[in-house]
């Protein structure tokens, strides 16, 4: 009688033993090749939810697989611990963000340990601790020295009545939470990183294996456009200004311009607005200041604007072009002014319709007869109504118009980017202080490296005021200038937490190094990351920032590679009841409940099996029960003993089972290699079925049985590490299964059994083909039709029927 599979008992036992034995601690001294498998570290929100499990458990399976394959695998874990949610949660609970965060980390660490992952906990990093953020500050200083950090103006929320900066949470529908005044956006000096210097390089993803959609998102985010800057003459030139410059990628449409749109913040607006339009224009500007950029650019929003009562002249035809302002044009992109061509731009078309502006066609759609357009025509076409350029295809028109403008001095070809510099200042408490000092004599002075870390004071009042809480913490603010020793003040803003996560993967290489952010030799050994897994939502923030960071460090000579993450993989999302899980819908799946009922290994295997990892899928209770039954079957199968019956079919059966086992090893290996986890589980289930059947029939020798059984456990070890370890011990093998080598298959033995098919044309033997015994009819027909030797018999003939006799022949009937 076999003891019952009791996952709770064995899982706890092995987790303790692995920890005691430090089974998963890794060292750079290993003779094995290195493999750095990284999962995006979690934000310290408090509890591991299903999304964490779905990100981490399959990643651990893959890392375990690489380990058994003979790699020295670093699979570390840490915590992204600074940031606004901690601060807000701490405020609402009335406890200090540090206390709240550290409690959450304790809880999450316990949950992560229960997952049975191979994390090397001796390498844990926590970004809110001084031994970590000291180096975040150090990197800030390095970027500053390299000319990559600078101070510039950026908008903040400003209440004109309270005369103060407001946090986003204090702005309710555009109004001040305290006094009800309309909030405006006002520029404040803040710190930026010059990520735009790397714009071109960030668009390239050479030498790295990343999902195409992430690469496209990054390229679109950087948004490089080749175009032409064109100047329009002011109808009534000012003393200083004689023209307005616009950037366009479509100079071929210049003769279709019927209005120009400036960003409301454009410096010329105040100067150009005619007296009768002043009130209307000012009101519009005030309104647009109350919106965020995202609101201004949102596609759902109706585009509106105001005519400012002034004109420019289109130099190509002398046409008078009215100037409008509209908030969908941003000062920070291009020149802050756009030429509007309503016939050939959707947004301009809608705007022209709304305000009854002319819509002349200058690029003819196919079969166009001069009629009015019902919608903007944005496809290529032939230039019309464009004077000397008429008849040119628009691609040639782009060049011809640009040449003409350059010749006349009215324009020049240029490149613009959508990417802006990275604003890293936060007027909040829970972040790494920016290590800069303002001296009345010396100006901006960096904190000397030897004085790092600039500690975050524990006793600051951290309720949000919009201004940095550190501003009111006198013992923090007041300091002396490191250069001239005069009384000076510290920078009181803290850093964007994306700064902390831009380099954490370097820290894992030597987490306790206290002389540098990393030990150069150890970092060189592990980096770059071989496989980075996490959510696709990080495409344009974290993943872009980390790439920028590495390129900047490379140029400083601190690292010798170009890209941090060689291979990137994004897992999908687990949903429930056809919807995203959320507390309000009441459809949240808590993994802990399943873990305590069915065991960790079942949850792990189920998450692998539920759907292709990159797609994600729907949580299904009957699905996880099925997986639980399967692991119970494995348990009983392995421990049930084996007695060989006397079967005449043994030789054939044994050959079949060896073939299936070798094929399974090949398939499981390839599936793991290619991150096709769900099909990997399916094939392991099939192997379990084959072995059960062979055992029932007593159809194989004991040595064949043992060989197959051991291979099943080895293949299962990454997915169900506790079950595999327990069974491995119980059948008498030595500890630990996780130190065993990954099984290898024999290509010869994995070969499908082959048969010879006769190929006939109209009943006459014309060819013989060797095919796998398990060939399907469709495959057999296909192979027969592609045979070179048959070409002569089939030429000029029509195939009217194909007769297939399984295992014997394919007969092509032709006439």
| Residue ranges of E strands in 574-701 | 575-576, 579-580
- Region of 213 on the Ramachandran plot (φ > 0 left; ψ -120 to 50 alpha; else beta): alpha
Residue nearer to Zn ion on the CB measure, 442 or 685: 442
Residue nearer to Zn ion on the CB measure, 442 or 755: 442
Q: Any contact of residue 442 with Zn ion (CB under 5 A)? A: yes
Contact 661, 708 (CB under 8 A): yes
* Token pair 């049930």: residue: 640
CB of 483 vs Zn ion, minimal distance in Å: 4
Q: Any contact of residue 639 with Zn ion (CB under 5 A)? A: no
CB of 509 vs Zn ion, minimal distance in Å: 37
Residue nearer to Zn ion on the CB measure, 48 or 176: 176
User: What is the distance between the alpha carbons of residues 322 and 260, in angstroms, rounded to a whole number?
Assistant: 6
CA 601 → CA 10, 723, 814, distances in Å? 11, 7, 58
How many residues comprise the chain? 815
CB of 167 vs Zn ion, minimal distance in Å: 12
Contact 233, 243 (CB under 8 A): yes
User: What is the distance between the alpha carbons of residues 680 and 573, in angstroms, rounded to a whole number?
Assistant: 19
CB of 170 vs Zn ion, minimal distance in Å: 9
Binding mask 157-186 toward Zn ion (x if CB under 5 A, else -) reads --x-xx-------------x-xx-x-----
CB of 327 vs Zn ion, minimal distance in Å: 23
Q: Candidates 435-443, 467-475, 551-559, 629-637 — which segment interacts with Zn ion by CB under 5 A? A: 435-443
Supply the DSSP symbol for 76. -
Residue nearer to Zn ion on the CB measure, 439 or 653: 439
User: What is the distance between the alpha carbons of residues 638 and 728, in angstroms, rounded to a whole number?
Assistant: 9
Q: Any contact of residue 436 with Zn ion (CB under 5 A)? A: no
CB of 426 vs Zn ion, minimal distance in Å: 21
Residue nearer to Zn ion on the CB measure, 179 or 593: 179
User: How many positions of this chain bind Zn ion (CB under 5 A)?
Assistant: 14
Contact 404, 384 (CB under 8 A): no
Neighbours of 757 (CB within 10 A): 20
Residue nearer to Zn ion on the CB measure, 184 or 546: 184
User: What is the distance between the alpha carbons of residues 473 and 455, in angstroms, rounded to a whole number?
Assistant: 12
CB of 439 vs Zn ion, minimal distance in Å: 3
Binding mask 451-490 toward Zn ion (x if CB under 5 A, else -) reads ------------------------------x-xx-x----
CB of 137 vs Zn ion, minimal distance in Å: 20
CB of 429 vs Zn ion, minimal distance in Å: 21
Neighbours of 318 (CB within 10 A): 8
User: What is the distance between the alpha carbons of residues 508 and 501, in angstroms, rounded to a whole number?
Assistant: 12
User: What is the distance between the alpha carbons of residues 744 and 668, in angstroms, rounded to a whole number?
Assistant: 10
CB of 448 vs Zn ion, minimal distance in Å: 12
User: Number of helices (H) and strands (E), helices first, in the chain?
Assistant: 27, 33
Which of 441, 590, 703, 762 is the binder for Zn ion (CB under 5 A)?
441
Q: Which of these, 131, 134, 188, 181, lies nearest to 156 by C-alpha position?
A: 188
Residue nearer to Zn ion on the CB measure, 279 or 444: 444
Residue nearer to Zn ion on the CB measure, 12 or 178: 178
CB of 180 vs Zn ion, minimal distance in Å: 7
Q: Are strands 494-495 and 487-490 parallel, antiparallel or unpaired?
A: unpaired
Residue nearer to Zn ion on the CB measure, 23 or 182: 182
User: What is the distance between the alpha carbons of residues 317 and 605, in angstroms, rounded to a whole number?
Assistant: 70
Q: 792 CB contacts (<8 Å, ≥6 apart)?
A: none
Residues 664, 667, 673, 678, CA torsion sign: negative
Residue nearer to Zn ion on the CB measure, 400 or 434: 434
User: What is the distance between the alpha carbons of residues 728 and 714, in angstroms, rounded to a whole number?
Assistant: 9
Residue nearer to Zn ion on the CB measure, 440 or 640: 440
CB of 171 vs Zn ion, minimal distance in Å: 10
Residue nearer to Zn ion on the CB measure, 464 or 617: 464
Q: 350 CB contacts (<8 Å, ≥6 apart)?
A: 302, 303
Q: Which of these, 394, 258, 413, lies nearest to 339 by C-alpha position?
A: 258
User: What is the distance between the alpha carbons of residues 514 and 134, in angstroms, rounded to a whole number?
Assistant: 10
Binding mask 558-587 toward Zn ion (x if CB under 5 A, else -) reads ------------------------------
Residues of this chain that bind Zn ion (CB under 5 A): 159, 161-162, 176, 178-179, 181, 439, 441-442, 481, 483-484, 486
């Amino acid at each position: 009688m076999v003891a019952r599979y009791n996952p709770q008992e064995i899982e706890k036992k092995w987790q303790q033993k692995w920890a005691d034995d430090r089974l998963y601690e890794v060292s750079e001294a290993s003779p094995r090749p290195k493999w750095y498998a990284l999962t995006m570290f979690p934000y310290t929100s408090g509890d591991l939810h299903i999304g964490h499990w779905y990100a981490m458990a399959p990643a651990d399976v893959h890392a375990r697989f690489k380990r058994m394959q003979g790699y020295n695998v670093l699979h570390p874990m840490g915590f992204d611990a600074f940031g606004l949610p901690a601060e807000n949660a701490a405020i609402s609970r009335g406890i200090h963000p540090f206390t709240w965060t550290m409690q959450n980390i304790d809880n999450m660490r316990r949950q992560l340990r229960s997952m049975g992952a191979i994390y090397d906990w001796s390498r844990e990093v926590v970004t809110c601790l001084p031994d970590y953020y000291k180096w975040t500050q150090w990197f800030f200083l390095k970027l500053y020295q390299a000319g990559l950090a600078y101070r510039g103006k950026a908008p903040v929320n400003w209440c004109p009545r309270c005369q103060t900066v407001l946090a986003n949470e204090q702005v309710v529908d555009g109004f001040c939470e305290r006094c009800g005044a309309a909030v405006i956006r006002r520029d404040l000096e803040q710190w930026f990183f010059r990520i735009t210097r790397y714009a071109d390089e960030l668009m390239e993803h050479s030498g790295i294996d990343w999902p195409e959609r992430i690469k496209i998102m990054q390229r679109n985010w950087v948004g490089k456009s080749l175009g032409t800057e064109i100047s329009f003459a002011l109808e009534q030139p000012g003393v200083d200004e004689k023209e307005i410059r616009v950037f366009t990628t479509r100079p071929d449409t210049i003769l279709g311009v019927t209005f120009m749109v400036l960003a409301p913040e454009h410096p010329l607006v105040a100067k150009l607005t005619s007296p009768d339009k002043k009130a209307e224009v000012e009101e519009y500007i005030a309104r647009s200041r109350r919106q965020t950029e995202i609101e201004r650019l949102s596609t759902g929003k109706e585009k509106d604007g105001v005519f400012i009562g002034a004109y420019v002249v289109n130099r190509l035809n002398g046409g008078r072009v009215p100037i409008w302002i509209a908030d969908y044009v941003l000062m920070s992109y291009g020149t802050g002014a756009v030429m509007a061509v309503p016939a050939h731009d959707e947004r301009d078309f809608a705007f022209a319709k709304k305000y009854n502006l002319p819509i002349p066609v200058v690029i003819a759609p196919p079969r166009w007869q001069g009629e009015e357009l019902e919608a903007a025509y944005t496809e290529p076409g032939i230039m019309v109504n464009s004077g000397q350029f008429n008849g040119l295809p628009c691609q040639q028109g782009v060049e011809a118009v640009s040449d003409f403008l350059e010749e006349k001095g009215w324009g020049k070809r240029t490149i613009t980017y959508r990417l802006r510099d990275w604003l890293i200042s936060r007027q909040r408490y829970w972040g790494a202080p920016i290590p800069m000092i303002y001296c009345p004599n010396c100006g901006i002075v960096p904190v000397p490296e030897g004085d790092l870390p600039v500690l975050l004071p524990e006793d600051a009042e951290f309720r949000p005021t919009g201004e940095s809480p550190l501003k009111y913490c006198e013992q923090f603010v007041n300091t002396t200038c490191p250069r001239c020793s005069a009384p000076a003040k510290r920078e009181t803003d803290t850093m964007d937490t994306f700064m902390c996560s831009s380099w954490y993967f370097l820290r894992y290489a030597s987490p306790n190094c206290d002389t540098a952010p990393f030990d150069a030799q150890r970092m060189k050994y592990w980096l770059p990351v071989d496989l980075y897994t996490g959510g696709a939502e990080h495409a344009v923030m974290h993943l872009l920032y980390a790439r920028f960071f590495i390129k900047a460090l490379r140029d400083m000579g601190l690292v010798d590679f170009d890209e941090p993450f060689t291979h990137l993989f994004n897992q999908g999302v687990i949903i429930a009841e056809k919807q995203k899980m959320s507390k309000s819908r009441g459809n949240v799946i808590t993994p802990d409940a399943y873990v305590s009922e069915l065991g960790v290994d079942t949850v792990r295997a189920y998450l692998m099996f539920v759907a292709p990892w990159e797609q994600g899928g729907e949580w299904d209770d009957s699905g996880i029960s099925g997986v639980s039954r399967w692991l119970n079957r494995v348990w009983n199968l392995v421990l049930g003993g084996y007695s060989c019956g006397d079967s005449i079919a043994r030789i054939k059966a044994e050959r079949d089972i060896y073939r299936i086992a070798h094929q399974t090893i090949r398939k499981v290996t390839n599936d793991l290699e290619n991150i096709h986890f769900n099909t990997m589980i399916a094939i392991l289930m099939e192997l379990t079925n084959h072995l059960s059947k062979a055992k029932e029939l007593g159809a194989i020798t004991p040595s064949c049985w043992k060989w197959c059984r051991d291979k099943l456990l080895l293949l299962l070890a990454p997915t169900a590490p506790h079950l595999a370890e327990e069974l491995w011990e119980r059948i008498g093998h030595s500890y630990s299964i996780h130190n065993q080598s990954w099984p290898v298959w024999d290509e010869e033995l994995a070969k499908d059994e082959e048969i010879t098919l006769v190929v006939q044309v109209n009943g006459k033997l014309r060819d013989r083909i060797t095919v796998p015994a398990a060939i399907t009819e469709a495959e057999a027909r296909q192979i027969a039709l592609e045979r070179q030797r048959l070409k002569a018999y089939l030429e000029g003939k029509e195939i009217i029927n194909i007769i297939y006799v399984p295992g014997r022949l394919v007969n092509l009937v032709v006439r």
